[in-house]
Structure 1
């Protein structure tokens, strides 16, 4: 009978490391992680919320994706590699009888980060085909113009204040009344280029735009539906007439008009 050899596995000691948010969040501690070797931590992805990194509990709907870039004195330092607004928050902001417009653009930011930025807009009323098409093309141009001037950490902070969203909303309002604009997701496509990107390199790649209208079903009777449809068509016609005769009306709109806080 063959002899069996008993194998004894050595226990490997593990240590705890503090997870440190990026410098833009004042290097706040966002948690702890454990590993047997600090080298195994480098490159690990950490998912957290903007509220945990910044301390601002009102921004709980913003999710951040961080990556550990180095270990120093027991601290695992991270950098931003992703940004996303939660789906339940977006669903609450999109209203009935509105048109949803989705678009995305690829950009090289000022710090050399190559990113894909996905935006979403919702109109105040249901838009016809021509207005919808105009919004799609204008949305793309506004994403390129308003967001390409930031580095990645600066863009994340700016979006949390809704300043870029309000600027985009004011521009889109010149075409058709917009109730809500949000940058729903940012994805890092590749690592930064050393030395950052030059201004000439901030031109985006060719992008494909997608527009998805929101359709709703009402339990009302057919007669009420026809009356409601006729009323909405009258409102849309009135808005278009006002836009054609007085182009300054939408330009003088309040700063926060078109975006829900």
Structure 2
């Protein structure tokens, strides 16, 4: 009786290796995380979410802990996986702290195109100092659309996203809107890059 043929057991764990996932140049190519994988192809298109505070770049404020950045892995060279920024979001729980009685909350969602042709969906919230009329709300919405599109058209994607994330855009919009009524706060609560896949 022939003996059973022995099969070699492959330790899949030994086939895996660590990959360093890095942020794009806008965030100084800092390491976002490390991922263990047996095949670099499994990394492509994975989404990595990190807070601005974790990256340790830019504003050292409470807001940085509640500002989350979304990155997509787009390329792997050796053991380094590079990413592209695809959007950001401010935690809803943080924004709720500003939503108090006696104020008007105006939400606006609009699609804009940057100077280099990248389409971005921008979701904003405007909080007024006191309750305002429907006519004032309409004026605010119109100004938000006009100003946002105007700013986006003058900047490339990375520059525009930098302004959204670090608050420069909100400051510009605040200065424009305070000409209409007293404004308490302006925040870009979320941004999403329109992605095209082959």
Partner of 1:222: none
Alignment CA distance shift 1:53-1:156 (3 Å): farther
Partner SS state of residue 89, structure 1 = helix
**Which residue, out of 129, 138, 142, partners 1:133?**
138
Q: Is the 8 A contact 1:16 1:32 kept in 2?
A: yes
Unaligned 5+ segments in structure 2 are 1-5
Q: Is the 8 A contact 2:88 2:165 kept in 1?
A: no
In structure 2, C-alpha distance between the alignment counterparts of 1:69 and 1:18, rounded to whole Å: 13
- Structure (1 or 2) with the larger CA radius of gyration: 1
Partner of 1:73: 78
Partner of 1:186: 191
* 1:54 CA displacement: 4.0
Alignment CA distance shift 1:109-1:191 (3 Å): farther
In structure 2, C-alpha distance between the alignment counterparts of 1:26 and 1:115, rounded to whole Å: 22
Cα-to-partner distance string for 1:119-152 (whole Å, 9 max, x where unaligned): 1101001001221222122222122122332233
Mean CA deviation greater in 51-60 or 141-150: 51-60
Aligned pairs, number: 187
In structure 2, C-alpha distance between the alignment counterparts of 1:46 and 1:25, rounded to whole Å: 14
Partner of 2:97: 92
1:140-219 aligned within 5 A: 140-191=145-196
Partner of 1:15: 17
Unaligned 5+ segments in structure 1 are 1-5, 193-261
**Which residue, out of 10, 34, 37, partners 2:39?**
37
* 1:185 CA displacement: 0.7
In structure 2, C-alpha distance between the alignment counterparts of 1:174 and 1:26, rounded to whole Å: 37
User: Normalising to structure 1: TM-score of the pair?
Assistant: 0.66
1:26-65 aligned within 5 A: 26-56=28-58, 57-58=60-61, 59-65=64-70
Q: Is the 8 A contact 1:62 1:84 kept in 2?
A: yes
Task: Could you list the structure 1 runs, at least 4 aligned residues long, displaced by more than 6 angstroms after superposition.
Answer: 6-9
Q: Is the 8 A contact 2:114 2:160 kept in 1?
A: no
Partner SS state of residue 194, structure 2 = strand
Q: Is the 8 A contact 2:113 2:152 kept in 1?
A: no
